[in-house]
C-alpha cells in the first residue's frame, strides 16, 4: 500500500506523473539506511525531478542539498516523463542499494519503464477508488490536484483560491502550483502537472 496510489486524472494527465520512492523495512534493512536514501535522492536529482522529499522535507526541489542532508526513513521523487523514470531505475539497479523501490503511475507505462531498465515488478497495487459518502468530496477537478498529496494536506479551498488568482492575473499557474507544493510534506506533489490542471480550471 502506498499513499501515492490514489492520484486522480485522465490517462493523458497521469502519463505526466510518476512517483518513485525508496522505503526501508523496519528490522530488516533499516540499519545504516540513511546514506542509501541520500544516494537515492542524488540519483533522482540527476534526472530532472519535478519534486523531491524525505518525510518533512517535501516541496524542497529548490534546496536539494537541504533535503539530502536531512533525509530520514523515506526518499521521494516525482517525474513527468517515462524516459526519466527509466534512467533512474537503470541507475538504481546498478547502485543495488538493497532497499525497496516503489514506482507509481499508469500501470502499462511503469511496466514499460521497468522493462527498458531490465527489471520486473515484484508486486502491483491498484486503487479501488473512494468508498462511502463520496457526495461530500470536492469536484473531480479539485481532487486531481489534492490527491497528488497522499496525506491530504492540500486544502481544496487553497486550490480554489489559487484558481481565482490565476483568473485575476495575480499569479501564473506555475506560481500557484509552488504555493500548493510545500503543503505536501513528503514531496510527492507534482507542480508541473498541477500548473496545467490549475490553468485548465482557470479557463
Q: What is the CATH number of the domain that holds 34?
A: 3.30.70
Residues 107, 26, single domain; the answer is: yes
In a domain, 4, yes or no: no
Residues 102, 156, single domain; the answer is: no
Residues 152, 71, single domain; the answer is: no
- Span 122-156, pLDDT tens digits: 888 888 888 999 999 999 999 999 999 988 999 99
Q: What is the pLDDT of residue 73?
A: 83
- Span 23-68, pLDDT tens digits: 888 878 778 888 999 999 999 999 999 999 987 677 777 888 899 9
Helix/strand/coil (H/E/C) assignment for every residue in 77-128: EEECCHHHHHHHHHHHHHHCCCCEEEEECCHHHHHHHHHHCCCCCCCCCCCC
Question: What's the total number of domains in the chain?
Answer: 2
- Span 88-121, pLDDT tens digits: 999 999 999 999 999 999 999 999 999 999 998 8
Q: What average pLDDT does the segment 169-182 reach?
A: 96
CA atoms within 13 A on the CB side of 177: 24
CA distance 196 to 193: 5
* pLDDT for 79 beyond 70: yes
Residues 112, 139, single domain; the answer is: no
In a domain, 128, yes or no: no
Q: Strand, helix or coil at 198?
A: helix
CA distance 156 to 13: 19
Nearest to 174 by CA among 141, 146, 196, 149: 196
Boundary of a domain, candidates 67, 82, 116: 116
In a domain, 51, yes or no: yes
CA distance 150 to 178: 17
Residues 39, 106, single domain; the answer is: yes
Looking up cell 527509466, which residue turns up? 86
In a domain, 78, yes or no: yes
Q: How far is CA 169 from the centre of its chain?
A: 28
Q: Whole-prediction pTM value?
A: 0.92
101: domain range?
Answer: 11-116
Angle at 79 between CA 173 and CA 159, to 5 degrees: 30
Residues 106, 68, single domain; the answer is: yes
Residues 108, 17, single domain; the answer is: yes
Amino acid at each position: 500500500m502506498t499513499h501515492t496510489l490514489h492520484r486522480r486524472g485522465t490517462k493523458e494527465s497521469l502519463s505526466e506523473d510518476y512517483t518513485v520512492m525508496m522505503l526501508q523495512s523496519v528490522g530488516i534493512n533499516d540499519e545504516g539506511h540513511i546514506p542509501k536514501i541520500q544516494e537515492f535522492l542524488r540519483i533522482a536529482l540527476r534526472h530532472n525531478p519535478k519534486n523531491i522529499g524525505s518525510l518533512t522535507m517535501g516541496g524542497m526541489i529548490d534546496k536539494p542539498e537541504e533535503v539530502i542532508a536531512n533525509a530520514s526513513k523515506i526518499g521521494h521523487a516525482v517525474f513527468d516523463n517515462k524516459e526519466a523514470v527509466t534512467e533512474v531505475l537503470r541507475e538504481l539497479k546498478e547502485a543495488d542499494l538493497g532497499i525497496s523501490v516503489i514506482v507509481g503511475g499508469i500501470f502499462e507505462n511503469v511496466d514499460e519503464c521497468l522493462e527498458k531498465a531490465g527489471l520486473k515488478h515484484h508486486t502491483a497495487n491498484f486503487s479501488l477508488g473512494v468508498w462511502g459518502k463520496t457526495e461530500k468530496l470536492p469536484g473531480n477537478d479539485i481532487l486531481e490536484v489534492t490527491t497528488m498529496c497522499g496525506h491530504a494536506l492540500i486544502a481544496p479551498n487553497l486550490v480554489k483560491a489559487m484558481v481565482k488568482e490565476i483568473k485575476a492575473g495575480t499569479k501564473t499557474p506555475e506560481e500557484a502550483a509552488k504555493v500548493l507544493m510545500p503543503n505536501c510534506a513528503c514531496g510527492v506533489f507534482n507542480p508541473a502537472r498541477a500548473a496545467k490542471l490549475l490553468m485548465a480550471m482557470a479557463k
